[in-house]
Amino acid sequence: MKSITVRTPNDLVIEERQIPKPKKNEVRIRVVSAGICGSDIHIWHGHNPFAKYPRVIGHEFWGYIDAVGEDIDEKRIGERVVGDPVVSCGSCYPCSVGRPNVCAELQVIGVHRDGGFSEYVTLPAKNSHVVPAAINDDDATMIEPFTIAANICSQLNPTSHDVALVYGAGPMGLTSVQALRGVYGVKEIIVVDRLEERLQMAMESGADRIINNTHLDLAEALVARGIYPTLIIDAACHPSILPEAIKVASPAARIGIMGFSSEPCIISQQGITSKEISIFSSRLNSNRFPLVIEWMQERKIQPEKLITHHFGYQQVVEAMALFEKEQRHCCKVLLTF
């Protein structure tokens, strides 16, 4: 089979590999499509602290089950499934409280173990979720990115009273905007980014107002417009954002962060406690695939609005370079296998 492998940082190849055999309780998927994510780019360039090399990348993928391991019903062969990249032990403390995404033994497909940029991939059977026929092929590839939004929203509990501020109109900000609009029906959504084209995408995904913060002080701009966000999602993830979010937040607001920077940022107890702000963090997803599949079936979200490019897997280098360099014109880039 052909697999897209990062052998060592900056050395990405399409190589011939042995088709893997599913182990006990695993299934094998013949991959049809996979989405490129920022974290694939980070692994490519050696900037992901969790990645081990060589690594077949890709964690946003779907296809058809074509083989099953011991203890899995052969009737599953032929199922159209999407893979949840979060492989967890099932018995540690976080797993026992429904947080497998931060399992003590966490293995993320495409990061810690081989991923979905490959003609075939194996994974635990419980990580494969049937994709109903009502969800088309492109949308199926978008399920995983929306699980990230589903996870952070589950932490923040958005309601129709919320004025939401979303930092960043990249794929993660935009999936969050669509969820806040279509699923939770928040009162107002403001999106801030530095790229005009991406802000336009935010409008198309359901933002009510957009703010380009390249040349303005966001805190002043919000006050001038009478906006006091009650719910803030940081999907831009620069270390300077959390202090600013605390400053602009309404009393009793919730803030959700999802960044992995190791740079410190300066926040004060007073800033947080005086407004009794709740700060949540969100990593990957904890069993949110069924929820997102439901959202898509009910047409609460519009994944197609985020898909800007398609490539055959043979063009992976071109596709990843475009995704990395053309942020103004790219959102989700999908590969076909």
Kindly list the residues in this chain that would bind Mn ion in the complex (CB under 5 A). 37
Residue with the closest Cβ to Mn ion? 37
162 C-beta neighbours (distance < 10 Å), count: 23
Residues 156 and 256 sit within 8 Å (Cβ to Cβ)? yes
Q: Out of Mn ion, ligand NAI, none, which partner does residue 237 contact, by CB within 5 to 8 A per kind?
A: ligand NAI
With residues binned 3-state (H G I as helix, E B as strand, rest as coil), the percentages for the chain, rounded to 5, are: 30, 25, 40
**Where along the sequence are the contacts to ligand NAI (CB under 6 A)?**
38, 148, 167-173, 192-195, 198, 213, 235-238, 241, 258-260, 282-284, 327
Residues 319 and 166 sit within 8 Å (Cβ to Cβ)? no
Q: Out of ligand NAI, Mn ion, none, which partner does residue 236 contact, by CB within 5 to 8 A per kind?
A: ligand NAI
The nearest distance, CB 73 to ligand NAI, in angstroms, is 32
Residue with the closest Cβ to ligand NAI? 170
Residues 315 and 11 sit within 8 Å (Cβ to Cβ)? no
Distances (CA, A) of 271 to 103, 158, 169, 236: 32, 22, 26, 21
Closest to ligand NAI by CB, 26 or 60: 60
Q: Out of Mn ion, ligand NAI, none, which partner does residue 189 contact, by CB within 5 to 8 A per kind?
A: none
Q: Out of Mn ion, ligand NAI, none, which partner does residue 167 contact, by CB within 5 to 8 A per kind?
A: ligand NAI
Residues 202 and 171 sit within 8 Å (Cβ to Cβ)? no
What is d(CA 166, CA 174) in angstroms, rounded to the nearest whole number? 9
Q: Out of ligand NAI, Mn ion, none, which partner does residue 212 contact, by CB within 5 to 8 A per kind?
A: none
The nearest distance, CB 108 to ligand NAI, in angstroms, is 10
Closest to ligand NAI by CB, 67 or 235: 235
